[in-house]
Chains A and B, each alone.
Chain A
Amino acid sequence: MLAFIIRRVLQAIGVLVAVGLIAFSMFRFAGDPINQLVSLDTPAAEREALRDALGLDDPVPAQFLRYMVEAVQFDFGISYQFRQPVSDMLASRAPATLELAIVATIFAMVVGILMGVYSALRRDSALAKLLQAVSLIGISLPTFLIGILLIYVFSVSLGWLPSFGRGEVVRIGGWTTGLLTASGWAAIIMPAITLGLFQMTLIMRLVRAEMLEVLRADYIRFARARGLTDRAINFGHALKNTLIPVITVAGLQFGSVVAFAIITETVFQWPGMGLLFVQAVQNVDIPIMAAYLMFVGAIFVVINLVVDILYTVVDPRLRSSLRAPT
């Protein structure tokens, strides 16, 4: 068990180092960092001094090592376009993105589970078939078009919801939140739906499939024989047993939600990390791109690691199979 955890942690660190290597190569080799930091009329001597100060003449492995040591301390260098430390910029934008991703995930789970349960229990009803069809179209529609459609209906035509920004935010320590003001809630509704829609259809299909499977199980038949009400069987027994895979999927997908926020944030001009990243790509601001890659990579790696370890803790059957080297 312990050996497995250690091996798994080492693997995760390996992946992170690989991601760091990509980030470092981008930073070091995609364009000359010096040219980006100085103006056109900077004399050559000054450029050399800066090159020396930044250590760009050191051997490449030494530079990589320094880059990783600094990255671990959340130091990702200076943004080319804003002349500010990248880590400060990411930190000030992180609350917006994380809040959006969390609200979107909760929305996707609540609505997805409800729709999934309904379409499993009333499999042949017209509404269930409609939900299936809508979910298929929902997957085929590009995210940004769904966002634009929502803006057109609820902002332009009806004028109910704001089409951009976070609304009023409240500062609590280092965190800004829009969830304490009415305008903040109004602003997050459409971005959260846009971002959560894909996850919602995924969860709906998953819950439906799992429910249909579970409802055929012996213990459900036994529960019926005991004379339990439909409600107790469907929600107390069947749904409970489908929730484990659903929560796993929702957890594993969280990294993707954060990454897909790039599109949603651009559509709604949501002041998060995704919008910062897109602007960095447009302006070739490599330090921001590299730092964002490291950040998303870390989220993916940590979530996968936690899920893997939790699985072996929760399910003893997995342990014996893990002992054999794979």
Chain B
Amino acid sequence: MPEETTDHARPVVDTAHGPRTGDVIATPAARLGVLARAWDSDIAFSFRRSPVTIVSAAVALVMILAAVLAPWITPQDPFDAASLNMMDGFTPPGEPNAFTGNVYMFGTDPQGRDMYSAVLHGARVSLVVGLASVAFSLTVGVTLGLVAGYLGGRTEAVIMRVADVQLSFPAILIALLVFGIARGVIPPAQQEQATLFVLIFAIGISNWAQYARTVRATTLVEKSKVYVDAARLIGLKPFVVMVKHVLPNVTGPVLVIATINLALAIIEEATLSFLGAGMPPTQPSLGTLIRSGQQFLFSGEWWILFFPALALVLLALSINLLGDWLRDALNPKLR
């Protein structure tokens, strides 16, 4: 855990590390340039000192790479019904199929769909929804937070009041409501293609308030600093001051929230899909796969549910732990 990486560990390594910045002797770091300096930075240091973080980063990286490369590293396209063979259905993982003799690492579902391909493609959908919804709520939240903090007055009161009310409701409830409304508004013919965007919007809109709150608080602190006064004095417009001078100084906390929120958004998407208010079975995310795998639990075909669930847990947990580490590493008070 991050705690053990910071306080007591540092001096021990410092002595072993030889001369540091400020010494007259040119260190290897100074000669090697940007990469080496990054390696020597505080963040990289706390990263190297935390085995949990290194493992999380490795797991997250492998999963993300596998998801991105899914079409090239999986044996079949699970969305293409023509490539499926019903004879291959219900093959347990690692065992040859009774009829065809094919072996599947993660087994197959009733349609003969290779679960390994399905999980990787599902993780791809989950990640797309997660990343896009985080980007969406980040944009909305940071903009509103910045405006509220910088302008103050009635604008601030209205924005923060809405954020307060929204934060007291669970995100999943808001996302479900938005999804239901979208189903009512969008004509049935376009619903299936629209689902991905509806989900991104629903999850994104249910999470903006947290960004707004943090950014507003940080903006209030930054606003009272001299550099903001200076920027205003030379006649810059409020918009320029906000974007070019205040915004860069609020990125730290926003980055932390975004990382932890990515894990939450992936879980939220999986939950929505599991509840039947998410990705359709023709274009499944990890949650949809878990939903369809649930019914086979009782008849003993555990692998149809197990592998998507494992992928979801590994993805969410590793990103969550990375977020925890980032929060501690960026917080100078904890050093």
List residues of chain A with CB under 8 Å of any chain B CB.
Answer: 15, 18, 26, 29-31, 137, 140-145, 148, 151-152, 156, 163, 255-256, 259-260, 262-263, 266, 277-278, 280-282, 284, 286, 289, 293, 296-297, 300, 304
B62 contacts partner chain A, Cβ-Cβ < 8 Å: no
Q: Is the CB of B276 within 8 A of A278?
A: yes
Asked if A144 contacts B290 (CB within 8 A), the reply is: yes
| Interface pair B271/A26, CB less than 8 Å apart | no
Bound-state CA distance A69–B38 (Å) is 64
B172 within 8 A of A: yes
Stretch of B141-149, B176-184, B216-224 lying at the A interface: B176-184
Instruction: Give the top 8 A-B pairs by smallest Cβ distance, nearest first.
Output: A30-B184, A31-B184, A281-B180, A30-B181, A284-B183, A284-B184, A140-B317, A259-B170
CB distance from B308 to the nearest CB of A (A): 10
Question: Does residue B185 face the partner (Cβ distance < 8 Å to A)?
Answer: yes
B233 within 8 A of A: no
Interface on chain A toward B: helix, strand, loop, or mixed SS? helix
Instruction: Name the contact of A289 in the complex, choosing from B170, B177, B263, B302 (C-beta under 8 A).
Output: B177
Q: Flag whether B168 is at the interface (Cβ < 8 A).
A: yes
What residue in chain B is nearest A296 (Cβ atoms)? Answer: B173
- Give chain B residues whose Cβ lies under 8 Å from the Cβ of A282: 276-277
Secondary structure class of chain B's binding surface, majority of residues: helix
Given A260-B170, A266-B275, A280:B165 Cβ within 8 A: no
- Kindly state whether residue B297 has any CB partner on chain A within 8 Å: yes
Tell me, in angstroms, the Cα distance from A55 to B317 when the chains sit together: 52
On whether the beta carbons of A278 and B298 are closer than 8 Å, the reply is no
Determine whether the beta carbon of A140 is less than 8 Å from that of B320.
Answer: yes
Contacts A277-B176, A286-B184 given: A145-B297 contact, CB under 8 Å?
A: no
A142–B270 CA distance with the chains assembled, in angstroms = 8
Residue of A nearest to B320 (CB): A140
Q: Check A31/B185 contact, CB under 8 A, given A140-B316, A281-B179.
A: yes
Known: A284-B183, A293-B177. A144 touches B320 (CB 8 A): no
Q: List residues of chain B with CB under 8 Å of any chain A CB.
A: 165, 168-170, 172-173, 176-177, 179-181, 183-185, 263, 267, 270-271, 274-277, 290, 294, 297-298, 302, 305, 309, 312-313, 316-317, 320
* Contact B181–A26 (Cβ < 8 Å): yes
Extra inter-chain contacts (10) besides given A31-B185, A263-B172, A263-B274, CB under 8 Å: A142-B313, A142-B316, A144-B275, A156-B297, A256-B170, A281-B179, A281-B277, A282-B276, A289-B177, A293-B173
Q: Judging by beta carbons under 8 Å apart, are A148 and B297 in contact?
A: yes
Name the one of A26, A143, A281, A297 contacting B176, with C-beta atoms under 8 angstroms: A281
Give CA–CA (A151, B176) in the complex, Å.
25
CB-nearest residue of chain B relative to A263? B271
Which of B172, B302, B313 has a CB less than 8 Å from the CB of A262? B172
Minimum C-beta distance from B55 to chain A (A): 14
Contact A262 B275 (CB under 8 A): yes
* Residues of the B chain whose Cβ atoms lie less than 8 Å from the Cβ of A30: 180-181, 184-185
Contacts of A300 in B (CB 8 A): 168-169
Known: A31-B185, A148-B309. A259 touches B277 (CB 8 A): no
Residue of A nearest to B170 (CB): A259
Task: Tell me how far the C-beta of A76 lies from the nearest C-beta in chain B, rounded to whole angstroms.
Answer: 15
**Given A144-B290, A145-B312, A289-B177, A260 contacting B172 (CB threshold 8 A):** yes
B275 in complex: contacting residue of A15, A263, A289, A297, CB < 8 Å = A263
B277 touches A152 (CB 8 A): no
- Contact partner of A143 (CB less than 8 A), chosen from B179, B271, B277, B320, is B271
Q: Is the CB of A280 within 8 A of B180?
A: yes
A283 to chain B, nearest CB (A): 9
CB pair B297–A152 under 8 Å, yes or no, is: yes
A–B Cβ pairs within 8 angstroms, 27 of them: A18-B165, A29-B185, A137-B317, A140-B316, A140-B317, A140-B320, A141-B317, A142-B312, A142-B316, A145-B312, A145-B313, A148-B309, A255-B168, A259-B169, A260-B170, A262-B176, A262-B275, A263-B172, A263-B274, A263-B275, A278-B276, A281-B180, A281-B276, A289-B177, A293-B173, A296-B169, A300-B168
Which of B173, B277, B297, B312 contacts A151 (CB under 8 A)?
Answer: B297
CA distance A266 to B169 in the complex (A): 19
Please tell me which one of the listed residues B185, B274, B297, B298 contacts residue A144 in the complex, with CB atoms under 8 A apart.
B274
Q: Do the beta carbons of A259 and B313 come within 8 Å of each other?
A: no
Residues of chain B lying within 8 A (CB to CB) of residue A140: 263, 313, 316-317, 320
Query: CA A205 – CA B316 in complex, angstroms?
Result: 21
CA distance A200 to B173 in the complex (A): 21
- In the assembly, what is the distance between CA of A293 and CA of B284, in Å? 28
Q: Find chain A residues with CB under 8 A from B277 CB.
A: 278, 281-282
User: Which residues of A are found within 8 Å of B316, using beta-carbon distances?
Assistant: 140, 142
